[in-house]
Structure 1
Amino acid sequence: MKAVQIQTFGAPEGLVLVDLPAPVPAAGEVLIAVEAVGVAGVDVLIRRGALAAYGFTEGFIAGSEVAGRVTAVGNGVDEEWLGRPVWAFTGTGGGYVEQAAVPLEQVLPLPAGLSPADAVTVGSSGAVAHFGLAQARFVPGEAVLVRGAAGSIGVMAVQLAARQGARAVAVTTSSAERGKRLRDLGATHVLDRSGQGDPDAPNGYDVIVDIVGGEAMPSFFDLLNPNGRMVAVGVVGGQPPADFGTTLMAQFQKSISFATFSAATIGTADLQAVRREQFEAVARGDLGAVVHEVLPLDQVALAHRKMDSGEVFGRIVLTP
């Protein structure tokens, strides 16, 4: 089968299409003929080598979610799965492939009306947005700011905060056109990347969901209300300054707090329950799956160049 390996860290050209033996499902696994692969921000960080300290090495196959049809089952798996359209979490990688063998507990059937491309646009990002808001202890009636809202996690966080009763959903983004699209998804205020630019925006926020990180992250502590909470769910802009805790402590009298969130801390059953509900919501039209573009697997370098340029709104999907 065809697969994409990160042969050299750095530029997108280090992603190379190679031939590998097709996998065989082990006991408790299903084999999926992949029809769609989600391209996530974490894939870009892995490809750049920014996460090498976490054990990602050259030769790694990126991609954490796929969708397609089950073509074979391992021992102990009901043959009724054969032929079913499914979504699957492939772990920290292994999704940029034509065929994927995945443990059954990481697989969900697709409801009628949900395409494979929509499934890999929502599957991981929607769960991160859901549990990120929960980590921030968000409750209806609070003001929320989503920093870096144009990516797949941000798009879902905007929709979920609006759907769950936020009194305001502000976003930071890079252009008026993106701001308009985010308003269509539920945003009430559009800010520039510094968190300014809308005179009608709230003076402060109860919750900030931060997908960006980077050098500017500590400046957003100033935008938190007393008892406000910031949760970092990504660092697509790089790590924050090593001394950002000093800025946090300068706000001591406001009792603000900072936390991180990784889906790795949530049990599989809880993650799958949220994904199932969100898949059904997208199929009904209650949530939007924002697909930026669909590209063939052999254009993976182009997909990553688009990610690097910051032009992606929603999620790029690869099709083997």
Structure 2
Amino acid sequence: MKAVRIHQFGGPEVLVLEDLPIPVPGPGQVLIKVAVAGVNYSDPLHYGGQVPPDIPVPVLPATPGFEVAGVIEQLGPEVSTPAVGMRVAASLEDGGYAEYAQAPVPTVTPLPDDIDFATVTTLLIQGMTAYELVVKAAQVQAGERVLIAPAAGGVGSLAVHLAKIAGAQVIGLAGSQEKLDLLQSIGVDFAFDYTRPDWVQNVLQATAGQGVNVLLDSVGGETAMQGMLCVGKLGRILFFGLASNRPMPPLNLLLLNSKEQQIVGFGGPLNHPERIHEARQALIKYIQSKQLRPIIGQTFALEEAATAQRALLQRLTVGKMVLSVS
């Protein structure tokens, strides 16, 4: 089978396509013939060897890729379901950038026939992240004002939909006119360019000076600090990434205290494995009812994995990026 491999840590240039034997599923595993593999912002940490302290550094050589969708090819010992030939999606520890991938049965979700493989990859990591952020961590309520930074990517665009489903007013930030147009098309109430110096003033004006109830930020750095100025009294601030790769200035604790704001760090949906099934089923129902319309951005071939990662790192994408495998 064809698989993308890394033999040393580095940038996208370390991703190389190789021929490998088709793996054999072990106890409690299934073998999936991969149709689509998802591309995520966590991928560069994996092939760059810069994983968080609580996650083991990949043993080289390794195959990146944390999410796949395809068809069950083979069952491991003592596994009776899902059946061979069933359409499924699965989240993995690694190994997704390949024509075949092993997956533990608990991470495998059967798919209805009316959802295509590319769409379902949005649910596995990015969709679950957005669901946990909006529904569980922030507990967004009808009538609240939510600021999402950035809002045009995979997680951000899904968070826009989920916040609107909850009945909130949504303000989305993006860094280009193309992405601002996209935000308007998916139903944000206001869209502002966070590269402009007046965006904080625009947010405050849009909220009649009250600020937002909830800030969802994965940019970090100075943008996150400015975003905090947009949060009103009793507001909730959730940080779930650091796309800018820039440190935040010191917090204004006096302002934080006077407004009685809450700050929460969000490490991802896998910190709550007991809620994975609930989140996926809810997201599938939203897609089937047309309330949730995931945005599939660029699609690359498996052999173009390095090109896909360069586009990701240069923030040239909108919505969900995928690799078309078979």
TM-score, normalised via structure 1 length: 0.91
Q: What's the secondary structure of 1:41's corresponding residue? A: coil
CA offset at residue 130 of structure 1? 1.1
Residue of structure 2 aligned with 1:290, choices 295, 309, 325: 295
Instruction: Give the letter for the 2:178 counterpart.
Output: E
What is residue 78 of structure 1 aligned with on the other side? 80
Are the structure 2 counterparts of residues 138 and 284 from structure 1 closer, same or farther at C-alpha, using a change threshold of 3 Å?
A: closer
Q: What's the secondary structure of 1:307's corresponding residue? A: helix
Q: Work out the CA distance in 2 between the residues paired with 1:171 and 1:44.
A: 25
Q: Work out the CA distance in 1 between the residues paired with 2:174 and 2:314.
A: 14
What is residue 152 of structure 1 aligned with on the other side? 154
Instruction: Verify the 8 A CA contact 2:72 2:82 in the aligned structure 1.
Output: no
The aligned runs of 1:259-270 (5 Å cut-off) are 259-261=264-266, 262-268=268-274, 270=275
Instruction: Verify the 8 A CA contact 2:89 2:109 in the aligned structure 1.
Output: yes
What is residue 229 of structure 1 aligned with on the other side? 236
Q: Deviations over 1:59-95 (max 9, x none)?
A: 342211100000111122226611001000113x221
CA offset at residue 129 of structure 1? 0.7
Instruction: Verify the 8 A CA contact 2:67 2:92 in the aligned structure 1.
Output: yes
Q: What's the secondary structure of 1:81's corresponding residue? A: coil
What is residue 16 of structure 2 aligned with on the other side? 16
Q: Work out the CA distance in 1 between the residues paired with 2:226 and 2:25.
A: 49
Instruction: Verify the 8 A CA contact 1:218 1:240 in the aligned structure 2.
Output: no
Instruction: Give the letter for the 2:118 counterpart.
Output: A
Instruction: Calculate percent identity across the aligned residue pairs.
Output: 31
Structure 1 regions of 5+ residues with no counterpart?
none
Q: Work out the CA distance in 1 between the residues paired with 2:289 and 2:133.
A: 24
Out of 100-109 and 51-60, give the one that drifted further.
Answer: 51-60
Are the structure 2 counterparts of residues 60 and 256 from structure 1 closer, same or farther at C-alpha, using a change threshold of 3 Å?
A: farther
The aligned runs of 1:125-204 (5 Å cut-off) are 125-133=126-134, 134-166=136-168, 168-193=169-194, 195-196=199-200, 198=202, 200-202=205-207, 203=209, 204=211
Instruction: Verify the 8 A CA contact 2:151 2:157 in the aligned structure 1.
Output: yes
TM-score, normalised via structure 2 length: 0.90
Q: What's the secondary structure of 2:264's corresponding residue? A: strand
Instruction: Give the letter for the 2:313 counterpart.
Output: D
When the two chains are superposed, the root-mean-square deviation of aligned CA atoms in Å is: 2.0
What is residue 301 of structure 1 aligned with on the other side? 306
Q: Work out the CA distance in 2 between the residues paired with 1:197 and 1:59.
A: 49
Instruction: Verify the 8 A CA contact 1:87 1:107 in the aligned structure 2.
Output: yes
Instruction: Verify the 8 A CA contact 2:147 2:215 in the aligned structure 1.
Output: yes
Q: Work out the CA distance in 1 between the residues paired with 2:77 and 2:285.
A: 29
Q: Work out the CA distance in 1 between the residues paired with 2:180 and 2:86.
A: 38
Q: Work out the CA distance in 2 between the residues paired with 1:298 and 1:197.
A: 45
Q: Deviations over 1:104-131 (max 9, x none)?
A: 1111111121111111123221111111
Out of 214-223 and 36-45, give the one that drifted further.
Answer: 214-223
Residue of structure 2 aligned with 1:311, choices 302, 308, 316: 316
The aligned runs of 1:16-55 (5 Å cut-off) are 16-51=16-51, 53=53, 54-55=55-56
What is residue 63 of structure 1 aligned with on the other side? 65
Q: Work out the CA distance in 1 between the residues paired with 2:324 and 2:253.
A: 43
CA offset at residue 12 of structure 1? 1.3
CA offset at residue 263 of structure 1? 1.4
Structure 2 regions of 5+ residues with no counterpart?
none
Q: Work out the CA distance in 2 between the residues paired with 1:249 and 1:64.
A: 41
Out of 206-215 and 148-157, give the one that drifted further.
Answer: 206-215
Q: What's the secondary structure of 2:4's corresponding residue? A: strand
Instruction: Verify the 8 A CA contact 1:144 1:205 in the aligned structure 2.
Output: yes
Instruction: Give the letter for the 1:224 counterpart.
Output: V
CA offset at residue 56 of structure 1? 2.6
Q: Deviations over 1:228-261 (max 9, x none)?
A: 11111222222533x64x3345421111121111
Instruction: Give the letter for the 2:28 counterpart.
Output: G
Instruction: Verify the 8 A CA contact 2:34 2:98 in the aligned structure 1.
Output: yes
Instruction: Verify the 8 A CA contact 2:200 2:229 in the aligned structure 1.
Output: no
Instruction: Give the letter for the 1:211 counterpart.
Output: S
Count of aligned residue pairs for this structure pair? 315
Instruction: Verify the 8 A CA contact 1:121 1:317 in the aligned structure 2.
Output: no
Residue 274 (structure 1) aligned with residue 273 (structure 2): no
